[in-house]
Amino acid sequence: MATGKRFKTLSIALTAAMALSLTACGNSNNNEGNTSSSSASPSSGSTSGGDSGKKVTITFQNIYPDPTTPNYKMVRQLVSQYEKEHPNIHIELDTLNTDQQKVKLKTQAASKEIPDITMVNPAAQMKPFVDAGLLAPLNDVIDKGGLKDTYQAGLLDYYSFNGNVYALPDGNNIEVVFYNKDLFQQAGISAPPTTFDEFLQDVKTLKSKGITPLAIGEKDSWTGSFLFMNILLRTNGGPGFLKDVVDGKKTFNDPAFVEAVDRFQDLVQAGAFPDGATSIDANAGGNIFKSGKAAMWIIGTWETGAIDASSVAGKVGAFQFPTVDGKGDPNEFMLAPGSAFAISANSEHLQETKDFLNYFTLNLPKTQFDLKNAVGIGQKVDGDLKAAGYSDLAITVAGLFNQVKGGDLSFDNTMNPATSQVHLSSIQNLFVQKVDSAQVAKEHQSAYESNK
């Protein structure tokens, strides 16, 4: 009997130990999902503080993981400032790279547990979150302290649904062609091209001199699409092609689309892109340009600061995407109205979170300006770029902003996700094999129709 009892005690002890070790596992898993953020799981943090009414933890999911970038510094600077002024508030950073964050947010959304502050993309991409009632309307936030007026005209529209603003953008960028002046000179090209034929000719010249004409990392398929959409913006004679498709006025079989595919294939055939482009991810693709190995990089102006911080600083200029076959206006750009900060409608500390976001966005322009990262942000900035020591490139880019007459949003910001994915892999395919452009158009149209 005595042994039986001892055995029982032992077994209970063992079970307890097992249970403990299991919880330990659970914790470590949580941290893993959290990547770089320093401690504890985000959700448990926000629930624990609230009830006492004193210490409040706000989880801030963000997409600025690279410590060398100004954005990384900006977030930390503003957060520590705020924490100093509000000792009872702790801001927990959940820092992820863009792709990871997109997936994490979707899984969190599926269980209706999104972080207090998270980041979303405009228009079609954030619509499901709004429809599901996951995001809190921010009208009171933008009314406070005159925040609304700091945003560039029309920018908040991309984040508004049914008259409510649901997210506050971090930037407002355009797509331009960055080019390495030294490499252009080496190839004997005197001026940036203004027509697509000239552009194509320059590509061939560069290629013949052994210089990679266009940097790209097409493993992340949005990069190729972003470039392709620029051509479509021209062949369509102006913005609105995708909107016309949605409104039923055009189909993807439209000549403008087919021509854009053909012109894009001309680029591929001319050897414009690096070998094996589809196995290079977007960051590595950018590095081809930033390390001086490629002559041009067609990308959003958000890279301006990063280019200035790279080894090609001082050698880089920027110009508008050329007209294609005489069509389009160079001052119409692919627009990238940023990623944006949104607040969870189910946040346990809704008011505190709103107060913080208000503070954060009100102080963002000045902080960015001081970090020399004010080109391409979504809010108006006071101050003279030149006097503040901004680079010639930054000033050129700021000049291009002043010429913007309008343009299009990227494909996946405009179309539903399923159609977008078909589009993205269809464009990726153009990099690796020659395809009948009419077939590409048909593929798009049937994907659109079956996913309407």
Residues of this chain that interact with another protein (CB under 8 A) are 7-8, 11-12, 14-15, 18-19, 22, 102-103, 106-107, 109-110, 128-129, 131-132, 134, 212, 218-219, 221, 274-279, 416-418, 420-421, 425-426, 428-429, 431-433, 450
Select 24 or 432, whichever has its Cβ closest to another protein. 432
Q: Minimum CB separation from another protein for residue 69, in Å?
A: 22
Phi, psi of 382 (to 5 degrees): -95, 145
Q: How far is CA 322 from CA 58, 152, 206, 257, 271, in A?
A: 46, 26, 17, 17, 18
Q: Give the number of other Cβ atoms within 10 Å of residue 442's Cβ.
A: 15
Name which of 191, 415, 197 is nearest 327 in CA terms.
197
Q: Do 45 and 58 form a contact (C-beta atoms < 8 A)?
A: no
Distance CA 103, CA 158 (A): 22
Q: Minimum CB separation from another protein for residue 283, in Å?
A: 13
Select 11 or 44, whichever has its Cβ closest to another protein. 11
Rg (CA), the chain: 25
E strand segments, 78-198: 89-95, 117-120, 160-161, 164-165, 167-169, 173-180
Q: How is residue 85 written in tokens?
A: 């002024």
Q: Minimum CB separation from another protein for residue 52, in Å?
A: 32
Q: What angle do CA 227, 304, 201 make, to 5 degrees?
A: 40
Q: Minimum CB separation from another protein for residue 103, in Å?
A: 5
Q: Minimum CB separation from another protein for residue 19, in Å?
A: 7
Select 282 or 307, whichever has its Cβ closest to another protein. 282
Q: Minimum CB separation from another protein for residue 444, in Å?
A: 13
Contacts of residue 54, defined as CB under 8 A and 6 or more positions apart, other chains included, come to 88
Select 242 or 393, whichever has its Cβ closest to another protein. 242
Select 278 or 363, whichever has its Cβ closest to another protein. 278
Select 126 or 242, whichever has its Cβ closest to another protein. 126
Q: Minimum CB separation from another protein for residue 90, in Å?
A: 28
Name which of 258, 201, 196 is nearest 435 in CA terms.
258
Select 103 or 438, whichever has its Cβ closest to another protein. 103
